[in-house]
Structure 1
């Protein structure tokens, strides 16, 4: 892999993570040869991945973190992971939205980033089961001095339901509200994406609510950074065939990018380092 010498740090770490997960572990000396970088660079990358909680350092290398499929991190914990990748994804996703659209945003920190990018798009109707996403639009809407909404302010529909650790509202109340609605595009955050399991979440109630969101959307756009590919949580709620477009970041290694493109109708790779041709492989907004 001599051509990996000049990879961005995020791309190099994604390659390391993929290697550790695929083989069940990797040694530092193996990674230095495969990536054609120094021992110190690999050790710094392993330190960074260990801080993210996706690997565990062991003597001479690293092994994947074995996490219960039911484990669901809180919103604040997830917010600290891959913030640059989420911003790149959010910028690309928001560019797909036309003024006046009816859109939906599921719970999650990546959809939260998308919501902040949508504040400049006028006339939106936003359906969400995320308390955090609703707060983004509520805080930005403001009001005119005489009362009433500002021109172009979004109409926000927040479903009811039971709150999860990720600050999403799920359960029968949310499901019933979503089932009666129809929207142009759904931006869907996920815990994991894989060829075998499709889209998955550790929360059973959230899985059902996400199924309702997918069924109510004319177009489904999954927003997921490179660490989500290959992850499988407790409950699958959609197949890859149900997804119209996956928006991910440039940290995806070329081999994984090819696998994504093979199994997904539309793929957008956002951010610095993304190949312009592949970034444009998308089926129309």
Structure 2
């Protein structure tokens, strides 16, 4: 299957998911008319969304999966979702990191993808509470020239704390470390983002640690794929007026983009097809 066909499938599934969440359910025949595709194509898209755990198939259509606000998937489960979207987001967000600056990266699979692109940004000081993110930089430095740290390699500070299912370190030790620091930019992954609840997570410890991150940053950049919009976790830790930029992917619906434009000063939609390109 070509990259273009994959992109079209992702765009269709984003529309379907938006319809399911907005209306509380959809029928296959409604989607075939709306998307102008075959019954078989819609059913394949619903199968894919059901495997991701975001819709539940019912006779003739699908309804949203309503998770408990305390449900927290593990890192491995989340890392398998929205892979191309996270890669697009990571590539775009890395362009916002200035060489020589002090940045913070929270835990999450999107910040993990971002860390791999930040390896090319020289002389960063990186503070993170993510074991996985720290491992990305450690592995790159270990793979470098033997006998010393390569020029321009990042200085990485990993906070202490109690490990969550997302492989983040949270709690009083992490909070105390972050409280005394000041970052040029915070790149923040989230469980959910909405106008009403702001940024949220199902983990109470992570909520407090993320709150400390936000307070210590001059600029807050949220990195979140389109499925996070409209999701609400147990604990809110920041309002949208504390966010400077949201970096998301092309699957974000037009309605969501309009809502975001009203409340956020910066929106970067990564992975949009270039206009005027050759067929």
Q: Secondary structure at the match of 1:123?
A: coil
Q: Structure 1's 170 and 243: CA in aligned 2 closer, same or farther, altered over 3 A?
A: same
Q: Does 1:26 align with 2:26?
A: yes
Q: Secondary structure at the match of 1:8?
A: helix
| Paired residues, number | 269
User: Is the CA contact 1:129–1:159 (under 8 Å) kept in the aligned structure 2?
Assistant: yes
Q: 1:36 is matched with which residue? A: 36
Q: 1:75 is matched with which residue? A: 75
Q: 1:84 is matched with which residue? A: 84
Greater than 6 Å deviation, 4+ residue runs: none
User: Is the CA contact 1:11–1:253 (under 8 Å) kept in the aligned structure 2?
Assistant: no
| Alpha-carbon shift at residue 153 of structure 1 (Å) | 1.1
1:36-83 deviation per Cα after TM superposition (whole angstroms, max 9, x unaligned): 222111111101100100000010000111111101000010000000
Instruction: Output the TM-score relative to the length of structure 2.
Output: 0.93
1:122-149 deviation per Cα after TM superposition (whole angstroms, max 9, x unaligned): 101000000000000011013653x332
Q: Does 1:229 align with 2:233?
A: no
- Distance in 2, matches of 1:103 and 1:110, equals 16
Q: CA RMSD in A?
A: 1.4
* Unmatched segments (≥5 aa) in structure 1: 1-6, 277-285
- Distance in 2, matches of 1:275 and 1:138, equals 39
Q: Does 1:242 align with 2:242?
A: yes
- Distance in 1, matches of 2:198 and 2:275, equals 25
- Distance in 1, matches of 2:226 and 2:129, equals 24
Instruction: Output the TM-score relative to the length of structure 1.
Output: 0.91
1:193-250 deviation per Cα after TM superposition (whole angstroms, max 9, x unaligned): 0011000000001000000000000000000000000000100000111100000001
